Amino acid sequence: MQILTKKIHLNVGRNALLICKFARFLDTNFKKKYMSNDIRIKKGLDIKLVGAAALSKTAAIKSNFYTIRPEDFHGITPKLVVKVNQKVKAGEPVFFDKSNEDIKFVSPVSGEIIEITRGEKRRILELKIKADKTLTFIEHKKLNLKSAKSEDIKALLLASGCWPFVKQRPYDVIADPDRSPKSIFVSAHATAPLAADYNFTLKGKESELQAAVTALSKLTDGIVHVGVSKDAHSPFTNLEDITTHRISGPHPSGNVGTLINKIDPINKGETVWTVTPQDLVIIGELLLTGKFNAERTVALVGSQIEEPRYLTTRIGSEVATMIYDRGIQKDAHARIISGNVLTGKEVKPDGHLDYYSNVITVIPEGDDYEFFGWNKPVFNKVSTSRALTFSWLTPNKKYDLNTNTNGEHRAFVITGSYEEVFPLDMYPMQVLKACMYKDLDEMEALGMYEVAPEDFALTEFVCVSKQPHQKIIREGLDLMIKEIG
Amino acid sequence: MGLKSNLHNLKEKYKGTKMAPAFNAIHTFLYLPNETTHNGTHIKAADDLKRTMNTVIMAMVPCLIFGMFNAGYQHHLALGSIEAAEGFLGSTFWTWDNLVIGIWKVLPLVIVSYGVGLLIEFIFAVIKGHEVEEGYLVTGMLVPLIVPVDLPLWMLAVAVAFGVVIGKEVFGGTGMNILNPALTIRAFLFFAYPTWMSGDKVWVHGAVERAGTADAISGETILGSYAQSQDVVYNYADMFFGLIPGSIGETSKLLIIFGALFLIFTKVGSWRIILSTLLGALAMGLIFNGVVDAGLITSSSKFYGLMSVPFWQHLIIGSILFGAVYMATDPVTAAQTNKGKWIYGFLIGFISIMIRVFNPAYPEGVFLAILLMNVFAPTIDHYVVQGNVKKRMKRLKVKTA
C-alpha cells in the first residue's frame, strides 16, 4: 500500500511537470501565432498625399556618377583614404570616421574618384565617383552564420562598410561598435506619407533579411524586435531569431522610435540599435555573398511625378536619372526630396540619392502669396484643427500639398495639439523647450535619450507657430553628445 | 495681379530694415506669405497663429454685437423710455435705438483698445526686430468686452498701455507672458479707478452722470444685489439670455455657450479647461449651499446673500462663464499639460466662487481667480511633468535593481 502511494505521488509529480511544460509550450506558441505582440497606436496622423507609387518595379537609368556626402552620416568627421583620380572597387573604403577608425564608409560602385568638393574650413562636402561600365566588387570572406561569433560579425560589418547602416539611440547617430545594445529594433511598417511599402520592396529578399537578422541577433544579449504591418503579409513574418510585433494605427506607428517606446524604452545608460529594412538587405547580401551591393529599391512619388512607381537604383546615384523619366518636366518648379516629405532632405535636380533613403518625393514649391489665406475656409490643405479648415470632413481624401509654410514663425502659443499626434510617453512641448534653453538635466529627465528628430516630424507638421521641431531636437541631441557623451 | 506683385516688391525692398516687421504685419494680413519650408518637414499644416486667433475672435463677435444692443437697452430701460423686453427676442431689445447707443459707446472702446495695444506691439516688434505676433488680436477684442460701458476712453488707453507693456512685453512678448494680458488690463483698471469699475452706477450708460441728480438711475448688477442681500429683480431667463446690466460682453450666457461650442469644435479652445472651471464653480457653490443648509451661516451674516444662491445659478450670474470660455483658455497663461488643465480649471472655478462670496465689496472674483491661477499654472505643470519624469526614473531603478 505504501509503495503504491509513493508511485502515485511520483506519477503526479511527473505529470504536473509535464503539464506545466506543455502549458508553457502552448502559451508561447499561442502568443507567436495569435497574439503576436500587437501594438496599436492611437495618437498620430496619417497625411494622405497624391502620388503614391504603383506596385511595379523597373530599373532606373544607370547613373554615370555617384556621390557620397559625409553630411548624410550625422556626427561623423570624415578622414579620407582616397585621392582624386584614384580607382576604387565597389565596397572599397573611401573615408573613415576620425573618432573611430574602424567605422569605414565605402564606395557604392567601382570607378574613379573624380572630384572631392570641400567647403568652409576644408570640410569635405562630397566625393564624386565616375562609375565603371561593369562593376567589380571587393570580396569579403563569407561567414558561417550558425557558428560565427559576435566579434567576427562585428569585424565583418565594420570592414565591409555596412556598419553605418546600424544606428543607435540615444542620439540617433551611427552606432558605437564598442557598446552592447540591450536590443535591436527594425521597423518594417512604413507609415510616413508616400513611404515605400516594405511588403512590396522586400518581396523575395527573405534569405538576405534572414541572414542579416541572424547576424544582428548575435550582437545583442537582448532581442531583435521587428515591427510589421498588422494588415498585410510581411517578409519578416516567418523569419527566425526575431520577435515580430504587429503594428496598427496612424503615423508615426511605423517610426522605429515609436516601436522602441512601446516595447522596451531606453533608460539612461542604455543603448539600442536600429536598422532599416532596406539596409538589412544590403547587410544580408554581404553576409551571403561577401559583396557590398548598394542596390536599392526606391519609390519615386509625389504629386509632381507623372508616373509614380518603384525603381531599382544604387545608393548615391544622381536623382536626375530617376526624376525626368516619366517624372517631372525639365523646368518644373518643384521640391525634390531625398526621403519622405516629413524627414527627407531637399536635393537639387543635380543632387544625389541620400545614403539611407528609399524614397524620392517631388512636390510643388509653394512660394506664392495667397490672398486672405489666413482666414478663408481651407479645403485643399491638411489640418488637425477645425478652424475653418475642412480636412476633418474628408479623412480619406488625398491632398496635393506644397512647400508653403502656411504662416510665419511664431513663439509657442497653442498647447495640446502636439500631444494628439505624439504617441511617445513624454511631453513634446516641454522637451522642445528644454532643448531650446539647453537645460541638460531637464532634457535627460524628460526623455531625450529615447528620441530622434524624426519622432518630432508630426508635431512640426501640425505646429501652428511653425517652429522647426526636428532641428531643435537635433541640436539638443548634439549638445548632449558634446556635454554628456 | 498688380497688388500682389507690388506688395512683394515693397517687401523685398524693406527686407532687413527696421520697419520690415511693421510692413510685414500688414502685408501678411492681406496675403498668406510666400515662405517655404527648408529642411525639416517639407509640408506644413494649414493653420497658423493668425487663423487660430481669428477663430477666437469669431467666437467673441456675437457677444460684442449683443453687448452693443444690451448697452442701449439697459440705458433706455433705466430711463424708462422702453418697456422690458420679454425674452431673448423681445421686441424692445433688438432695436435700432439700442444699437445706435451701443455703437456709440462700444465701438470707441474697441478702437482704443486695438489702436493703443497694436501700436505698442508694433513699436516693440520694430525695436526688437521680430515679427508682430498675433496675440494682441484676441486681447484687443477681449478688453472692451470685460469693461463697463461708460469707462472713459483715456482710462482704457492708459490701462491697455500698462497691460501690454507690463503684462506682456517685459516678459518677452506673446507666448512668454505669465499673466493674461486682458485680465492684467482689467485688474489695472479695477485697482486704479475702482469707482469706474464697480458699484451700482457704472454698468448702465448714463448712470454715472446722473448720479445725485433727480434723474438718478440705478444699474446694479445681480451680483451686487445678492452681495447686499437685496432682492434680485431679474428672472432666470433674463440672466441666461443676458438682458441684465454688466460688463459689455459677459451678460449673454446663451451666446457665450455658442462661442464655447465653436471654440471646442474647432479645437482652438480647451474643453478640459472650460469644463473643469464650471465643475469647480459648481463644487464650491454646492459647498456653500451645504454650509447654509447646515445652519452655520444665518441670514444675519453678510455672506448669506451669495452663499445661499443655488449652486447652479452661479453659472448664469456674473462673468464666470465668460471667464471660463474666453479667458481661462488662453493657452499661454493656462496650464499646458492636459492633466494640468483639469486642475487649473477646477481651481479657477472653485476660487472664483469663493472670492465672489467672501468679497461683498466687489463680488466678481473670476478675473482675480484666473490671474491667481495664471501664476500657479507653471507650478501645476511642473508637478504633472514630474509625474512623467518619475515614471522614467522608476523604470531605470527597476532595471538596475
Q: For A199-209, b where at least 16 C-beta lie within 10 A, e where not — what string?
A: bbbbeebeebb
Chain B residues near residue A455 by CB distance under 8 angstroms: none
Q: Considering the entire predicted model, what is its pTM?
A: 0.89
| pLDDT recorded at residue A303 | 92
Closest chain A C-alpha to B379 CA, distance in angstroms: 13
Is there a single domain that holds both residue B235 and residue B279?
no
Residue B363 placed within a domain = yes
Is there a single domain that holds both residue A198 and residue A105?
no
The dihedrals phi and psi of A370, each to the nearest 5 degrees, come to -130, 120
Is there a single domain that holds both residue A160 and residue A284?
yes
Residue B34 placed within a domain = no
Contact call for A415 and B270, based on CB within 8 A: yes
Q: Give the residue-averaged pLDDT of B96-116.
A: 91
For residue B104, list its beta bridge partners. Answer: none
Chain B residues near residue A367 by CB distance under 8 angstroms: 34-36
| pLDDT recorded at residue B381 | 94
Q: Is the pLDDT of residue A286 over 90?
A: yes
Q: Which of A391, A415, A424, A400 is nearest to A467 (CA)?
A: A415
Chain A residues near residue B383 by CB distance under 8 angstroms: none
The verdict on B184 touching A (C-beta cutoff 8 Å) is no
Q: Which of residues 324-383 of A touch B (CB under 8 A)?
A: 335, 337, 341-346, 361, 363, 365-375, 378, 381-383
pLDDT digits (tens, 9 = 90+) for B118-164: 999 989 888 887 888 888 889 999 999 998 888 899 999 999 999 99
The dihedrals phi and psi of B315, each to the nearest 5 degrees, come to -75, -25
Contact call for A470 and B266, based on CB within 8 A: no
Is there a single domain that holds both residue A121 and residue A199?
no
Is there a single domain that holds both residue B239 and residue B280?
no
Say how many CB pairs under 8 Å bridge A and B: 224
What is the rounded (10 degree) CA torsion for A183, A188, A190, A191?
-60
Q: Which of A272, A289, A306 is the last residue of a domain?
A: A289
Closest chain B C-alpha to A403 CA, distance in angstroms: 5
Highest mean pLDDT among A66-70, A236-240, B221-225: A66-70
Nearest to B43 among A265, A419, A461 (CB): A461
Chain B residues near residue A266 by CB distance under 8 angstroms: none
For residue A115, list its beta bridge partners. Answer: A128
Chain A residues near residue B334 by CB distance under 8 angstroms: 415
Contact call for A368 and B173, based on CB within 8 A: no
Dist. CA A267–CA A269, nearest whole Å? 6
| Axis-axis angle for helices B96-128, B49-79 (nearest 10) | 140
Q: What is the CATH number of the domain that holds A227?
A: 3.40.50.11540
Contact A263/A245 with Cβ under 8 angstroms? Answer: yes
| pLDDT recorded at residue A398 | 92
Confidence at A181, pLDDT banded by 50, 70, 90: very high
Q: Which of residues 130-189 of A touch B (CB under 8 A)?
A: none
Query: For A266, which residue in chain B has the nearest alpha carbon?
Result: B396
pLDDT digits (tens, 9 = 90+) for A10-50: 555 555 555 555 555 555 555 444 445 889 999 999 999 99
Residue B26 placed within a domain = no
Contact A225/A259 with Cβ under 8 angstroms? Answer: yes
Which helix (DSSP H) or strand (DSSP E) does residue A229 occupy?
A: strand A224-229
Chain B residues near residue A417 by CB distance under 8 angstroms: 267
Residue B18 placed within a domain = no
Domain count, chain A: 3
Is there a single domain that holds both residue B85 and residue B218?
yes
Chain B residues near residue A43 by CB distance under 8 angstroms: none
Q: Give the residue-averaged pLDDT of B344-358.
A: 91
The verdict on B299 touching A (C-beta cutoff 8 Å) is no
Strands (E), A170-222: 173-174, 183-187
Residue A321 placed within a domain = no
Peptide bond into A193 cis (omega under 30): no
Is there a single domain that holds both residue B287 and residue B397?
yes
Is there a single domain that holds both residue B100 and residue B58?
yes
Contact call for B389 and A446, based on CB within 8 A: yes
Q: What is the CATH number of the domain that holds A102?
A: 2.40.50.100
The verdict on A460 touching B (C-beta cutoff 8 Å) is yes
Is there a single domain that holds both residue B106 and residue B161?
yes
Q: Provide the pairing of β-strand A243-248 with A224-229.
A: parallel
At A66 the three-state DSSP class reads: strand
pLDDT digits (tens, 9 = 90+) for A75-96: 899 999 999 999 999 999 999 9
Dist. CA A242–CA A185, nearest whole Å? 10
The region of weakest confidence among A24-33, A307-316, A369-378 is: A24-33
The verdict on A391 touching B (C-beta cutoff 8 Å) is yes
Nearest to B35 among A265, A346, A408 (CB): A408
Confidence at B260, pLDDT banded by 50, 70, 90: very high
Q: Which of A259, A289, A319 is the last residue of a domain?
A: A289
Q: Which of A431, A438, A455 is nearest to B389 (CA)?
A: A431
Is there a single domain that holds both residue A174 and residue A252?
yes
What amino acid is encoded at A421 in this protein? V
Is there a single domain that holds both residue A197 and residue A120?
no
Residue A427 placed within a domain = yes
Percent of chain A with pLDDT over 70: 93
Contact call for A427 and B31, based on CB within 8 A: no
Residue A461 placed within a domain = yes
Per the listing, cell 511527473 goes with A14
Residue A253 placed within a domain = yes
Is there a single domain that holds both residue A124 and residue A159?
no
Is there a single domain that holds both residue B176 and residue B309?
no
Residue B29 placed within a domain = no
Contact B45/A466 with Cβ under 8 angstroms? Answer: no
Is there a single domain that holds both residue B234 and residue B340?
no
Which helix (DSSP H) or strand (DSSP E) does residue B96 occupy?
A: helix B96-128
Is there a single domain that holds both residue B120 and residue B238?
yes
What amino acid is encoded at A315 in this protein? I
| pLDDT recorded at residue A33 | 47
Residue A99 placed within a domain = yes
Q: Is the pLDDT of residue A114 over 90?
A: yes
| pLDDT recorded at residue A485 | 76
Is there a single domain that holds both residue B345 and residue B394?
yes
Q: Is the pLDDT of residue B101 over 70?
A: yes
- Cell numbers representing residue B377 in the block: 499654472
Contact call for B39 and A346, based on CB within 8 A: yes
At A344 the three-state DSSP class reads: coil
Domain extent, residue A413, equals: 405-485
Closest chain B C-alpha to A159 CA, distance in angstroms: 32
Q: Which of B250, B285, B320 is the last residue of a domain?
A: B250
Is there a single domain that holds both residue A216 and residue A272?
yes
Chain A residues near residue B39 by CB distance under 8 angstroms: 345-346, 470-471
Q: Which of B185, B218, B250 is the last residue of a domain?
A: B250
Domain extent, residue B139, equals: 47-250
Residue A267 placed within a domain = yes
Contact call for A410 and B392, based on CB within 8 A: no
Q: Give the residue-averaged pLDDT of A185-193.
A: 93
Dist. CA B255–CA B66, nearest whole Å? 8
Which helix (DSSP H) or strand (DSSP E) does residue B13 occupy?
A: helix B2-14
Chain B residues near residue A404 by CB distance under 8 angstroms: 32, 34-37, 44
Q: Give the residue-averaged pLDDT of B261-265.
A: 94
Closest chain B C-alpha to A376 CA, distance in angstroms: 9
Q: For A448-467, b where at least 16 C-beta lie within 10 A, e where not — what string?
A: bbbbbbbbbbbbbbbbbbbb
Cβ neighbours of residue A60 under 8 Å, at least 6 residues apart? A298, A311, A312, A313, A317, A321, A322, A325
Is there a single domain that holds both residue B127 and residue B246?
yes
Contact B363/B318 with Cβ under 8 angstroms? Answer: yes
Chain A residues near residue B8 by CB distance under 8 angstroms: 369
The verdict on A265 touching B (C-beta cutoff 8 Å) is yes
Nearest to B42 among A335, A388, A445 (CB): A335
Domain count, chain B: 2
Is there a single domain that holds both residue A174 and residue A280?
yes
Mean pLDDT of chain A: 88
| pLDDT recorded at residue A1 | 46
pLDDT digits (tens, 9 = 90+) for B305-316: 788 888 888 888
Chain A residues near residue B388 by CB distance under 8 angstroms: 425-427, 446-447
Q: What is the DSSP string of A268-312?
A: TT--EEE--HHHHHHHHHHHHHS----EEEEEEESTT-SS-EEEE
Residue B194 placed within a domain = yes
Q: Provide the pairing of β-strand A173-174 with A183-187.
A: unpaired
Q: Give the residue-averaged pLDDT of A276-285.
A: 94
Total Cβ atoms within 10 A of residue A474: 21
Nearest to B45 among A409, A415, A461 (CB): A461
Q: Which of residues 133-152 of B touch A (CB under 8 A)?
A: 133-135
Chain B residues near residue A385 by CB distance under 8 angstroms: 47, 52, 266-268
Is there a single domain that holds both residue A166 and residue A268?
yes
Is there a single domain that holds both residue A173 and residue A254?
yes
Residue B149 placed within a domain = yes
Residues shown for chain B? 401
Percent of chain B with pLDDT over 70: 94
Q: Which one of B48, B272, B388 would you mutate to disrupt binding with A, by most A Cβ within 10 Å of its Cβ?
A: B48
Q: Which of residues 403-442 of A touch B (CB under 8 A)?
A: 403-417, 419, 425-427, 429-430
Residue B9 placed within a domain = no
Chain B residues near residue A447 by CB distance under 8 angstroms: 388, 392
ipTM confidence score: 0.88
Query: For A380, which residue in chain B has the nearest alpha carbon?
Result: B46
Residue A219 placed within a domain = yes
| pLDDT recorded at residue A389 | 87
Q: Give the residue-averaged pLDDT of B181-203.
A: 84
Q: Which of A255, A271, A289 is the last residue of a domain?
A: A289
Contact call for B33 and A345, based on CB within 8 A: no
Q: Which of B197, B219, B250 is the last residue of a domain?
A: B250
Closest chain B C-alpha to A392 CA, distance in angstroms: 10
Is there a single domain that holds both residue B236 and residue B277?
no
**CB < 8 Å & 24+ apart, contacts of B121-127:** B121/B164, B122/B21, B122/B22, B122/B25, B124/B169, B124/B173, B125/B21, B125/B22, B125/B25, B126/B18, B126/B19, B126/B21, B126/B22
Q: Which one of A346, A414, A448 would you mutate to disrupt binding with B, by most B Cβ within 10 Å of its Cβ?
A: A414
